[in-house]
C-alpha cells in the first residue's frame, strides 16, 4: 500500500483553501481601506489649504483696500491747496498718518511737476519723482503698484543691503475746488507686513507642520517669501482655476498645492495668487502608519483563520478516517466489523455548500445593513443641514427689511448699542446719517405705491454702494434710512453725506427719473448718556433740512 499524500488530506486542503481566501480578503480590504482613506485625507488637506489661502487672501485684500481708501480720502482733504496749504500743519498731518500704521515707510505729496513738496519726517522733500510709476499713474486715479525694491528710499534711510526694503505703492490725484490737478499724494507700504498676515493664518491652522505659503505675481514671479524674491515659477506649473492639486515642483518633490486668487476690485490689475502647499509624504504619513497597523492585523487574522479552519477540518474528516479504519480492519482479516452509517462524502459536500451559502448570505446581509445605515446617516445629515439653513435664513430675515434687503430697525438698534459700547470702552467715535426721500408721498400719489417701492429699492441700493463694508445701512421707517458710519468723525461724515445727497440728486431713476433726499447728520459725543441721543440729534438735523428747503445736509 502506497504512503498517504499529506496534501490530498481533506483537513490540509480545507486549511489552505480557506486560509488563502482569508489572506486575499484581508489584503484586498487593507488595500481598499488605504485607498479611500488616502483620498479622504488628501481632500481634508486640500480643504485646509483652501481655507488657509482664503484667510490670507481676505486679510491681504482688506489691508490693501484699506490703504487705498486711506490715501484716497487723504487726497480729498483740503491740505495741499490755497490758503490751507500751511507747511507745518501739512507736515503734522502727514506725520500723524504715517505714525498710525507701522508699515508706512514713506508718505508725501508731489506737485504737478513731480517734485516732492511735503513728506512725513521731511523724507525725500525736494526730490524729483516725475518718472516714478506711482506718480505717473497716480495723476489719473487711485493707483496700487506691484511689490518692488526701494532703491532711492533705501539710500536715504540707510537700509542694510542684507535686508532689502521692498514696498507697495499707493497713490491718488489731488484736485483743487475747480477740479484742477494739483499733484499726487502717495505712500510706500513696507512689504514686511505680509509676514504677520501669513504667520497668523498658519498659526490658526490645526495642522501647520510642513505647510508653506508663497505669493506669486501675474507673471509667476515670487513676491513672498523674501528669500525667494525675484525668482520665477515655471510657466503653467500652477492650476489656472482656484483649486488644490498634486503637483510635482521643480525640486523633484510632489506637493498638494492650493491656489487662491486675490479677489479685490482694486487688486484685479495685479493678478496676485496665494499658493499654499504641503509635501505629499507629510500629508500621507498618517496613511503609512495606518497601513502598517492594518498589515499586522491582517497577519494575525489570517493565522487565527488558519488555526480555526484546521480544527474544523479535523472534525469534518473524522468520518472518513473511521471508514479507513474499518477497511484496514477488513484487510487485516477481521470479520466482525462495524461499518459507519455513512461514509461522509455527501455530507461533507453538503456542509461545504451550506457554509459557502451561509457565508455569502451573511456578507449580503452585512452589505445591506451598511447601505441602510449609510442612507440613514445621509438623511439625518441632510435634514440637519436643512434645519441649520432654515434657522440661518430666519435669523437673517428677522434683521432684514423685506423690500430693500437692508438691515431693519431692529438690526440698526443692535448695531447702535454695539457702537455706543465701543465708544465708552475704547473711545471710538461714529456718526449717524438720517436720510429721507423728499416728497415721497407725492411720488406714491402720482405714480402709485408700486412705483414708490421701486424708488425705495433703488435708493437703498445706491446707499449701500456708497458706504464701506464696516458701515451699516438700514431702512428706519417708510422712506427714511439710517446710516451708521463706524470710526468716522463729523468732517468725513459730512463729506460722505454730501456725496450721497449729490449722487441721489444726479441719478436718473427708472420711473420717476429725478429724486432728491434730505440728510440729517450727527456725530456721537463722549458726554452722551444713551446710545440714542446721537440718533435724536440726527433726526432733529433731518427735520431742519426738511424745513429749510430739502435736498440738503444739515448737522
Q: Return the HEC string of 36-70.
A: HHHHHHHHHHHHHHHHHHHHHHHHHHHHHHHHHHH
pLDDT of res. 272: 82
**Of 63, 235, 217, which is closest to residue 148 (Cα–Cα)?**
217
Instruction: Say if CB 403 and CB 456 are below 8 A apart.
Output: yes
Distance CA 149, CA 168 (A): 9
The average confidence (pLDDT) of the chain is: 79
Cα–Cα separations (whole angstroms), residue 325 to 276, 321, 322, 337, 411: 76, 6, 5, 10, 95
**Poorest-pLDDT segment among 80-84, 298-302, 541-545:** 80-84
pLDDT of res. 208: 54
Q: Which CATH class is domain 409-554?
A: alpha beta
Supply 484's cell numbers: 451708521
Q: pLDDT tens for residues 303-327? A: 777 777 666 666 666 655 655 665 6
Among 57-71, 141-155, 205-219, 252-266, which range has the highest average pLDDT? 57-71
pLDDT category at 397 given cuts 50, 70, 90 is low
Q: What are phi and psi of 119, to 5 degrees?
A: -155, 150
Supply 227's cell numbers: 528669500
pLDDT of res. 331: 66
pLDDT of res. 11: 62
Backbone φ/ψ region at 183: left (φ over 0), alpha (ψ -120 to 50), beta: left
Distance CA 435, CA 403 (A): 17
pLDDT category at 480 given cuts 50, 70, 90 is very high
pLDDT of res. 158: 59
pLDDT category at 463 given cuts 50, 70, 90 is very high
> Could you give the dihedral angle defined by the CA atoms of residues 442, 447, 449 and 452, in that order, rounded to the nearest 10 degrees?
-70
pLDDT of res. 365: 65
What value does the mean pLDDT take over residues 238-249?
78
pLDDT category at 231 given cuts 50, 70, 90 is confident
Q: What are phi and psi of 522, to 5 degrees?
A: -150, 140
Supply 26's cell numbers: 484581508
What value does the mean pLDDT take over residues 462-478?
90
Instruction: Say if CB 518 and CB 550 are below 8 A apart.
Output: yes
pLDDT of res. 533: 92
Whether 359 shows a pLDDT value over 60: the answer reads no
Q: pLDDT tens for residues 179-225? A: 889 999 999 888 888 888 787 777 766 455 678 888 888 788 888 88
Question: Which stretches within 205-284 are classed as H helix?
Answer: 280-283
Whether 258 shows a pLDDT value over 80: the answer reads yes
* 3-class state of residue 470 by DSSP: coil
Per CATH, 77-194 and 409-554 having the same topology is answered no
Distance CA 129, CA 186 (A): 11
Whether 494 shows a pLDDT value over 90: the answer reads yes
Distance CA 251, CA 228 (A): 14
pLDDT category at 541 given cuts 50, 70, 90 is very high
**Of 41, 34, 37, which is closest to residue 295 (Cα–Cα)?**
34
What value does the mean pLDDT take over residues 103-119?
90
Instruction: Say if CB 487 and CB 429 are below 8 A apart.
Output: yes
User: Which residues, listed in sequence order, are joined to residue 372 by a DSSP beta bridge?
Assistant: none
User: Which residues, listed in sequence order, are joined to residue 46 by a DSSP beta bridge?
Assistant: none
Distance CA 339, CA 484 (A): 104
Nearest 5°: the CA angle 114, 120, 124 is 45
Instruction: Say if CB 147 and CB 213 are below 8 A apart.
Output: no
3-state secondary structure 171-208: EEEEECCCCCEEEEEEEEEECCHHHHHHHHHHHCCCCC
Of 143 and 283, the one with more pLDDT: 143
pLDDT of res. 112: 92
In the numeric block, the cell 542684507 is attached to 162
- DSSP H or E run through 71: helix 10-76
What value does the mean pLDDT take over residues 93-117?
89
Of 514 and 19, the one with more pLDDT: 514
483 DSSP assignment:
E
Pairing of strands 517-523, 553-554: parallel
Cα–Cα separations (whole angstroms), residue 58 to 66, 198, 238, 318: 12, 11, 20, 77
Whether 149 shows a pLDDT value over 60: the answer reads yes
Question: Which stretches within 398-431 are classed as H helix?
Answer: 409-426
pLDDT of res. 1: 39
pLDDT of res. 348: 46
Cα–Cα separations (whole angstroms), residue 405 to 396, 400, 408, 485: 10, 6, 8, 19
Distance CA 322, CA 265 (A): 91
Q: pLDDT tens for residues 116-139? A: 999 988 888 889 999 999 999 999
**Poorest-pLDDT segment among 59-63, 284-288, 447-451, 514-518:** 284-288
Sequence-separated (6 or more) residues with CB below 8 Å from residue 479: 436, 437, 440, 452, 456
Distance CA 552, CA 538 (A): 13
Question: Could you state, in order of their start, the residue ranges of all structural domains in the chain?
Answer: 77-194, 409-554
pLDDT of res. 343: 43
Query: In terms of C-beta density within 10 A (0-12 exposed, 13-18 middle, 19 or more buried), how is residue 111 classed?
Result: middle
Contacts 24+ apart (CB under 8 A), 420-423: 420/524, 420/528, 420/530, 420/531, 423/524, 423/526, 423/528
Distance CA 106, CA 127 (A): 13
Q: pLDDT tens for residues 1-57? A: 344 455 566 666 667 777 777 778 777 777 777 777 777 777 777 787 788 888 888
Whether 356 shows a pLDDT value over 50: the answer reads no
Q: Which CATH number fits domain 77-194: 3.40.50.300, 3.40.50.880, 3.30.450.20, 1.20.1090.10?
A: 3.30.450.20
pTM tops 0.75: no
pLDDT of res. 484: 94
Q: pLDDT tens for residues 403-449? A: 888 999 888 999 999 999 998 888 888 999 999 999 999 988 888 88
Distance CA 15, CA 26 (A): 16
Amino acid at each position: 500500500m502506497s504512503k498517504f499524500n499529506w496534501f490530498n488530506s481533506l483537513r490540509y486542503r480545507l486549511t489552505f483553501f480557506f486560509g488563502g481566501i482569508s489572506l486575499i480578503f484581508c489584503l484586498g480590504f487593507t488595500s481598499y481601506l488605504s485607498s479611500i482613506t488616502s483620498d479622504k485625507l488628501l481632500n481634508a488637506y486640500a480643504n485646509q489649504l483652501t481655507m488657509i489661502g482664503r484667510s490670507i487672501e481676505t486679510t491681504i485684500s482688506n489691508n490693501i483696500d484699506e490703504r487705498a481708501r486711506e490715501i484716497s480720502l487723504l487726497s480729498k482733504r483740503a491740505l495741499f491747496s490755497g490758503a490751507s496749504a500751511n507747511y507745518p500743519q501739512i507736515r503734522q498731518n502727514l506725520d500723524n498718518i504715517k505714525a498710525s500704521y507701522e508699515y508706512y515707510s514713506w508718505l508725501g505729496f508731489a506737485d504737478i511737476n513731480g517734485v516732492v513738496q511735503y513728506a512725513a519726517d521731511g523724507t525725500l522733500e525736494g526730490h524729483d519723482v516725475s518718472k516714478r510709476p506711482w506718480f505717473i499713474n497716480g495723476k489719473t486715479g487711485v493707483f496700487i503698484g506691484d511689490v518692488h525694491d526701494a532703491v532711492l528710499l533705501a539710500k536715504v534711510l540707510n537700509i542694510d543691503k542684507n535686508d532689502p526694503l521692498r514696498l507697495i505703492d499707493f497713490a491718488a490725484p489731488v484736485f483743487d475746488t475747480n477740479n484742477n490737478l494739483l499733484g499726487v499724494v502717495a505712500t510706500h507700504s513696507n512689504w514686511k507686513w505680509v509676514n504677520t498676515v501669513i504667520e497668523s493664518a498658519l498659526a490658526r491652522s490645526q495642522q501647520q507642520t510642513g505647510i508653506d505659503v508663497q505669493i506669486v505675481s501675474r507673471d509667476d514671479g515670487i513676491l513672498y517669501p523674501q528669500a525667494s524674491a525675484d525668482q520665477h515659477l515655471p510657466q503653467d506649473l500652477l492650476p489656472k482655476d482656484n483649486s488644490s492639486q498634486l503637483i510635482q515642483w521643480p525640486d523633484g518633490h510632489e506637493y498638494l498645492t492650493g491656489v487662491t486668487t486675490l479677489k479685490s476690485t482694486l487688486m484685479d490689475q495685479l493678478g496676485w495668487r496665494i499658493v499654499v502647499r504641503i509635501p505629499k509624504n507629510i500629508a500621507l504619513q498618517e496613511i503609512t502608519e495606518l497601513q502598517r497597523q492594518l498589515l499586522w492585523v491582517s497577519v494575525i487574522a489570517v493565522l487565527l483563520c488558519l488555526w480555526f479552519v484546521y480544527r474544523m477540518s479535523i472534525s469534518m474528516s473524522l468520518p472518513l478516517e473511521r471508514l479507513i479504519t474499518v477497511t484496514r480492519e477488513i484487510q487485516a482479516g477481521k470479520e466482525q466489523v462495524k461499518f459507519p452509517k455513512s461514509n461522509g462524502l455527501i455530507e461533507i459536500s453538503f456542509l461545504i455548500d451550506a457554509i459557502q451559502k451561509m457565508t455569502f448570505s451573511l456578507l449580503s446581509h452585512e452589505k445591506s445593513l451598511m447601505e441602510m445605515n449609510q442612507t440613514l446617516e445621509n438623511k439625518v445629515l441632510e435634514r440637519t443641514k436643512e434645519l441649520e439653513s432654515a434657522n440661518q435664513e430666519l435669523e437673517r430675515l428677522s434683521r432684514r427689511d423685506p423690500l430693500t434687503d437692508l438691515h431693519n430697525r431692529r438690526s440698526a438698534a443692535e448695531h447702535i448699542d454695539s457702537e455706543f459700547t465701543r465708544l465708552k470702552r475704547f473711545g471710538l467715535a461714529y456718526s449717524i446719517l438720517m436720510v429721507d426721500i423728499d416728497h415721497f408721498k407725492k411720488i406714491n400719489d402720482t405714480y402709485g405705491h408700486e412705483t414708490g417701492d421701486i424708488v425705495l429699492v433703488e435708493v437703498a441700493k445706491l446707499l449701500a454702494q456708497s458706504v464701506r463694508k464696516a458701515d451699516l445701512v438700514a431702512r428706519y421707517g417708510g422712506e427714511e434710512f439710517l446710516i451708521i458710519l463706524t470710526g468716522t468723525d463729523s468732517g468725513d461724515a459730512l463729506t460722505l453725506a454730501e456725496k450721497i445727497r449729490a449722487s441721489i440728486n444726479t441719478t436718473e431713476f427708472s420711473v420717476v427719473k429725478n429724486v432728491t433726499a434730505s440728510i440729517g447728520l450727527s456725530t456721537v459725543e463722549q458726554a452722551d448718556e444713551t446710545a440714542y441721543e446721537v440718533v435724536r440729534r440726527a433726526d432733529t438735523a433731518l427735520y431742519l433740512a426738511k424745513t429749510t428747503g430739502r435736498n440738503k445736509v444739515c448737522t
